[in-house]
Amino acid sequence: MPRFSAHLGYLFTDRPLLARIDAAAACGFQAIEGRFPDVPAADFKHAVERNNLKVLGINTPQGGPDDFGLGALPGRERDWRAIFAQTLDYVTTVGGLAIHCLAGKVAPEHRRAAETTYVENLKWAADQAAARNVKLYLEPINPRDMPNYFLSELAHAADIIGQVGSDNVFIQYDFYHMQIVGGDLIERFKKYQPLIAHVQCSQVPVRHEPDGDGEINYPFVFAEIDRLGYPHWIGAEYKPRTATESGLAWGAAYGLHAPGG
């Protein structure tokens, strides 16, 4: 049976972050994930523990207002190490499993240097994370939504992981981005399954609930990756049409529901 995590950067956003944790548990989610939290780690941990939830991946901070991560930006290596160390401390404190390492936006003429930077930064980060039993995730993000994001192709993510050469670096496979960049969702999932430690879902083209109103047949997708033996979580990372609680019919078969439902 698929297990779902609530991405708190997208769901329950009509309330403060700690209240989103309570809301996720009330709707049947058993785990949470998201962006770097804007609350003290002790408060976040308390909210998680009182709801008996697991903490999955937390993103590294985006950096400045024009950034979307620093991992692959030449000349920003010192900044990368600082924000990664901050994230690792936070994840360790709250009992999280992984860190999604945002690569950042890179102009085409700087991509070769950026790859070298990203690999070296990830080698250093992987060693730091392994010492605390934390995984690293790399997520290809489609260029329509995030122009010039360094990592958009699944094969590129796999190649980066090979260059890093650490056994705690994995792919975060987002069906939304993968559908936009290439489709063929299940065959590509099977090809790279040994490297996939987390998946995420939302409907294409408008990133709403993973229901029947869009390009992806999610009941089939969820059943197929379950049949393939995928043992990890599925992150619900979508933009609800209205209130999150009103749009959970897609998850009823998997134990999700409006409070009291």
CATH number of domain containing 169: 3.20.20.150
pLDDT at 260 over 80: no
| CB-CB contact of 94 with 57 (8 Å) | no
Q: Nearest Cα to 51, choosing from 23, 74, 70?
A: 23
Per-residue 3-state assignment (H helix, E strand, C coil) for 93-141: HHCCCEEECCECECCHHHHHHHHHHHHHHHHHHHHHHHCCCCEEEECCC
Whether 29 is in a domain gets the answer yes
Whether 47 is in a domain gets the answer yes
Question: How many independent structural domains does the chain possess?
Answer: 1
Whether 259 is in a domain gets the answer no
State the pLDDT at residue 64.
Answer: 85
| CB-CB contact of 247 with 19 (8 Å) | no
Q: Which range among 16-25, 57-66, 93-102, 181-190 shows the weakest confidence by mean pLDDT?
A: 57-66
Whether 221 is in a domain gets the answer yes
| Separation of alpha carbons 234 and 197, rounded Å | 10
Q: Which residues are catalytic?
A: 139, 237
Whether 261 is in a domain gets the answer no
Whether 209 is in a domain gets the answer yes
State the pLDDT at residue 112.
Answer: 95
| Separation of alpha carbons 76 and 62, rounded Å | 13
- Residue 209 pLDDT grade (very low, low, confident, very high; cuts 50, 70, 90): very high
| Separation of alpha carbons 239 and 232, rounded Å | 22
Specify the pTM: 0.96
DSSP string, the chain: ---EEEETTTSSTTS-HHHHHHHHHHTT--EEEESPPSS-HHHHHHHHHHTT-EEEEEEPP--STT-SBSTT-TT-HHHHHHHHHHHHHHHHHHT--EEE--B-B--GGGHHHHHHHHHHHHHHHHHHHHTTT-EEEE----TTTSTTBS---HHHHHHHHHHH--TTEEEEEEHHHHHHTT--HHHHHHHHGGGEEEEEE--TTT---SSSSSS--HHHHHHHHHHTT--S-EEE----SS-GGGGGGGGGGGT--STT-
Whether 150 is in a domain gets the answer yes
The pLDDT tens digits for 14-46 are: 999 999 999 999 999 999 999 999 999 999 999
State the pLDDT at residue 37.
Answer: 96
pLDDT at 157 over 80: yes
- Residue 259 pLDDT grade (very low, low, confident, very high; cuts 50, 70, 90): confident
Whether 85 is in a domain gets the answer yes
* Domain that residue 84 falls in: 4-254
